[in-house]
Amino acid sequence: MPKFSANLTFLYTDLPLLDRFAAARKSGFTGVEYMSPYEETKSDLIARLSDNGLTQVLHNLPVGDWAAGERGIAILPGRVEEFRRGVAKAIDYASALGCGQVNCLVGVAPKGADAKELHRTLVANLAFAAGELAKAKIKLLIEPCNTRDIPGFFLTRTDQALRLIDEVGSDNLFVQYDIYHAQVMEGDLARTVEANLPRIAHIQLADNPGRHEPGTGEINYPFLFGHLDKIGYAGWIGCEYRPLTTVDAGLGWMKAYRS
């Protein structure tokens, strides 16, 4: 039976972040994830998790200046020290929140940058982060993202992520497999997950087109959920979609999977 976590960055966006925890619990979720915890105090976040009986499933490493278009800094040669400070901050928050995995958005390639230099920087940064997070017993994840939603994003396909993991050579580096991004870039969802299951630590979902809830687009989610059960995927599935109308109005798809 799939375990679904609410991505609070995408859901309940009419509420302040700290109020979204109770809304997620009321909707029937038992886990939450979100991009950035760093704007809130650890004590406030811990209280919201505890008060609502929620598991902190995932959050990201610091991504740089989101408002300015940055989507991670791990590829940027001039930002290595900032990246390392972000790793320490992520460990501090994840340890306090009981969060066992942290995702790294690698970043958008600057125009005219040397792709080989960006790649070398990324490999070195991931090796550092994977090692530091391993000491804290926290998994490091990397997420391929589609270039329609994030033009210029450096990591775009599952096979690229797997090669990167091999090059880094850490047993504490895994794929965060976002079904929506993968459908846009490559398709072949069921086979890809099955073939690489040991290296996939977390899955996220949204339908395509529109990035709305399952059942609003082309992806056969009942088949995929059954397939994930069949192949033994035991992790969480993060609901990272924009509700077509409201969150609760669009949760009919999840009723069949509630215990």
Examine the residue annotation and report whether 39 is marked as an active-site residue of this protein.
no
Integer CA distances (angstroms), 126 to 6, 173, 183, 246, in order: 27, 8, 25, 37
Is the distance from CB of 146 to CB of 101 less than 8 angstroms?
A: no
Is the distance from CB of 218 to CB of 207 less than 8 angstroms?
A: yes
Structure tokens at 73: 């800094």
> 193, 219, 222: which is closest to 207 by C-alpha?
219
Examine the residue annotation and report whether 143 is marked as an active-site residue of this protein.
yes
Given CA atoms 135, 122, 149, 110 in this order, what sign does their dihedral have? Answer: positive
The residue from 33, 143, 186, 194 that is catalytic is 143
Is the distance from CB of 72 to CB of 64 less than 8 angstroms?
A: yes
Catalytic residues: 143, 240
